[in-house]
Amino acid sequence: MPGLHPGGRGFKSRPVHKKSFGKHFEICSFSCGNSYLFRYNVGLRLVWNTNLSTAKRTSLEKFRLKRSLDTLTRKEGRGTELVSLYVPPGRQVSDVIATLKQERGTASNIKSDATRKNVQDAITKVMQRLRLFRKIPKNGLVIFSGAIPQNGPGSERVETYVIDPPEPINIWLYRCDNRFHTEHLLDLIKEKETYGILVIDATASALATLEGNRLQVVDEVTSGVAGKHRAGGQSARRFERLREAQLISYFKRVGDHANKVFLPLPNLKGLIIGGPGFTKFEFEKGDFLNYTLKDKVIETIDTAYVGEEGVQEIVDKAPEILRKVRYVEEKRIVQEFLYEIGHDTGLATYGEEEVKRGLKMGAVKTLLLSEDLDLVRVTVKCTSCGVQKQETVKSQALIGYKQSLVGKSCSECKMSTLTLAETKEIIEDLAELAEQARAEVEVISGQTEEGQMLKKSFGGIAAVLRFKLQN
């Protein structure tokens, strides 16, 4: 059952078809001709069924979440007609419905007939969905509803999305706008891992933690090291020696502070060191940081400032740094595959058919999928005799493929009654198989040379195997 319809966790079960919701369009069936929405909607369903709060998010889960939310974020209303509702856990359904009734009443003052009708329809939809819940799920509830133009003005249809958030959503929000307010959900899926930040130069240093997007400057250490220019009358050599000793004692203090701040953090994923000039390198080279922290240094970068401003500079560059971390991971994953292929060990395979075979046999350890695999798995069904056939086609060719079915006769009963029964992104299709087979799924970007090679030389579908496949 595709889509974000009632039927998932926390819903009363009920069959879903667009007819069951009256004349308003519901994204639930490819028969609407809107393959794009359908495809993403499949992703959405899967996303929220995954228990993300306990497990570390995998590249696949991130891929699904991001895709789904990007799609919702891009939707635009004709005017301020799209309703976003965030309900935190613990609220009474009846209270929320009462509030919505009020909002619907207020909406009757809207002058434009079309806008008024669209807003009221959207609110009504939200209320209908809410009534399917006896109580608000434990992580709260998010509903988006509104008239989305499908094909230019006058083609609006009401689309409704019910989302059971992957983590508690502790805000109340009712908003009518020309877009869906997805930003609070996007916040939820941001990285929750903690990164340590240390900026240092010869005068001072600052220590900070970055958890998700919460930044905290935890500690600051001043050096007391004399400036580079000696006072008159001091011998140059003595001055240098003194300065050196002061610097080392300062480094030791910074190291102690860093160990105290960063070592106890349970989810410390990495440490980023920054600062103007060479001091940061000297500090990093020496034995001032505990070795486990040293191992976690993911990048040493130049900043113009020290102190809080320096920390902020690093935070601004953090997304780029973290992406690099993922690229290193991706390179390693693809290289493992290339090694097995290159050494002909039989412990790797590629191509849709072979990989599927491996998955069905439970032989796949890691499934590698290129992020931009634009392939769709389609199921064609004959409505007369019920015969079904599956095929893989390019996403761009989907419309043409659908048209090609018109007038084509069924291979079994020879009637011209072939229809597209289902479409599914190939990534989802294979990922589902992988989940059943308990294989790791890695969605690999095209940002590295290895990622490009996976896509171009191996068709973007590959696997590292636990054991050899028999022919």
Q: Is 248 among the residues that bind Zn ion (CB under 5 A)? A: no
Question: Could you give the CA distance from residue 110 to residue 440 in angstroms, rounded to a whole number?
Answer: 52
Please report which helix (H) or strand (E) contains residue 313, including its range: helix 307-342
Question: Could you give the CA distance from residue 403 to residue 417 in angstroms, rounded to a whole number?
Answer: 12
Q: Which is nearer to Zn ion, 141 or 378 (CB)?
A: 378
Count, residues near Zn ion per rule CB under 5 A: 7
Q: Is 412 among the residues that bind Zn ion (CB under 5 A)? A: yes
- Of 58, 203, 259, 384, the residue at the interface with Zn ion (CB under 5 A) is 384
* CB contact at 8 A, 334 and 450: yes
What are the C-alpha distances in Å from 433 to residues 1, 218, 306, 421? 17, 45, 50, 20
Q: Which stretch binds Zn ion (CB under 5 A): 44-52, 119-127, 291-299, 374-382?
A: 374-382
Q: Is 419 among the residues that bind Zn ion (CB under 5 A)? A: no
Q: Is 385 among the residues that bind Zn ion (CB under 5 A)? A: yes
CA-nearest of 216, 226, 267, 272 to 249 is 226
Q: Which token pair is 424?
A: 């599914």
* CB contact at 8 A, 86 and 124: no
Give me the least distance between CB of 422 and Zn ion, in Å please.
17
Contacts with Zn ion, 325-364, as mask; x by CB under 5 A: ----------------------------------------
Q: What three-state secondary structure class fits 341?
A: helix
Q: Is 198 among the residues that bind Zn ion (CB under 5 A)? A: no
Q: Which is nearer to Zn ion, 230 or 381 (CB)?
A: 381
Please state the length of the chain.
Answer: 471
Q: Which stretch binds Zn ion (CB under 5 A): 131-139, 254-262, 283-291, 412-420?
A: 412-420
Question: Could you give the CA distance from residue 126 to residue 96 in angstroms, rounded to a whole number?
Answer: 10
Sign (positive or negative) of CA dihedral 164, 167, 171, 177: negative
Q: Is 65 among the residues that bind Zn ion (CB under 5 A)? A: no
Q: Is 382 among the residues that bind Zn ion (CB under 5 A)? A: yes
- Of 367, 410, 444, 463, the residue at the interface with Zn ion (CB under 5 A) is 410
Give me the least distance between CB of 31 and Zn ion, in Å please.
18
Give me the least distance between CB of 410 and Zn ion, in Å please.
3
Query: Distance between the two ends of the chain, CA-based, in angstroms?
Result: 35
Catalog residues that contact Zn ion under the rule CB under 5 A: 382, 384-385, 387, 410, 412-413
